[in-house]
Each structure stands twice: as C-alpha cells, then as structure tokens.
C-alpha cells in the first residue's frame, strides 16, 4: 500500500464515510456529553477512557514514525489505559476532540513525508514493519469504534 492509500484510509476511518458505517469522529460527535463518563455494570472503560486510549496509541505511532526508539506503552499500564480521566463539560469535550484531531493531522503529515521504501522497513525499536504498524493503528481505531458504539447503545438503555 502506498502513502496516498494510507492517508485515504486514515481519513475514511477518522471522519470520512467508511464502508462499514459511521467514522470515529462521526460516532463520537453523536454521543451526548452526559454519557462520556458513565459505565454500565461489568464494563471496564468509559467512552472518555476509550478515546484517551485511542489517542495514546496514535501518539505511540507518531513517536515511532518520528524514529523515537525510547517511546513505549506497556500493555495494561496507566500509559495504555488512563485512570481518572473525565469529560465534565463542553470545554473538556472540545479539548479531547482537538487532541484526537491533532493526532490525525500529525500522523497524516508524517506519513506524507516518508519515502515509499520506509513502509517496508522495521518500525524503530520493533520487529514489525512500519506498514504493519500503520495498518495496526487503523485496525485499533476500528476495533475500539465498535466498542464505543456498543457501549453507547448500552448506556442509552440505562
């Protein structure tokens, strides 16, 4: 896959019109503020926690694209799943959306700056390719988008 295809796919998943339904921003923008911090029984994470998780893994990818060998997220740590994060008002909601949009902008700019052969090389400090990492963050966004939609549908029934 070339960089133009990556950018197209990133934009479709993020705020476009993907084949499977609503984009990440489209889905999040439909969720009222009062639902962002709620958790039904036996649910591990709130919408706010999911969005920060998505942002933090996008930041991981950004750092790896920037060749930051030392940047890491330990699975199931507080870097992976933030604790004590809330969206209590419209201003905080706007801030989290801005942070998410910033990761999209930076990621796309970095991808455009890379030569085509970079995609086949190993990710800095890892044993997988840059292409695998970039496809992985797309899959990660879509995976959690499904969870967000399911969580929202559960919250509507409370």
Q: Which residue has the tokens 């700056």?
A: 113
Task: Report pLDDT digits (tens) over 83-107.
Answer: 999 999 999 999 999 999 999 999 9
Residue 133 confidence (pLDDT): 97
Torsions phi, psi for 123 (to 5 deg) = -65, 140
d(CA 12, CA 76): 28
d(CA 60, CA 68): 9
Percent of the chain with pLDDT over 90: 96
Question: Whole-model pTM?
Answer: 0.96
Beta bridge partners of 122: 129
Task: Report pLDDT digits (tens) over 24-72.
Answer: 999 999 999 999 999 998 899 999 999 999 999 999 999 999 999 999 9
Question: For residue 63, what are the contacts with CB-CB under 8 A and spacing of at least 6?
Answer: 71
Confidence of residue 1 (pLDDT cuts 50, 70, 90): confident
- Output the CA torsion 75→32→139→137 (10° steps): -60
């Amino acid at each position: 896959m070339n960089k133009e295809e990556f950018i197209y796919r990133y934009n479709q998943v993020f705020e476009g019109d993907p084949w499977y339904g609503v984009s990440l921003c489209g889905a999040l923008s439909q969720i009222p503020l009062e639902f962002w911090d709620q958790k039904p029984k036996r649910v591990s994470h709130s919408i706010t926690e999911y969005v920060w998780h998505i942002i933090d893994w996008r930041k991981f990818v950004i750092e790896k694209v920037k060749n930051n060998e030392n940047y890491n997220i330990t699975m199931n740590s507080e870097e992976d799943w933030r604790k004590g994060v809330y969206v209590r008002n419209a201003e905080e909601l706007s801030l989290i959306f801005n942070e998410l949009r910033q990761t999209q902008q930076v990621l796309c700019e970095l991808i455009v700056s890379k030569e085509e052969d970079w995609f086949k090389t190993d990710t800095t400090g890892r044993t997988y390719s840059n292409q695998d990492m970039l496809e992985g963050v797309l899959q990660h966004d879509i995976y959690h988008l499904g969870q967000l939609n399911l969580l929202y549908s559960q919250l509507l029934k409370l």
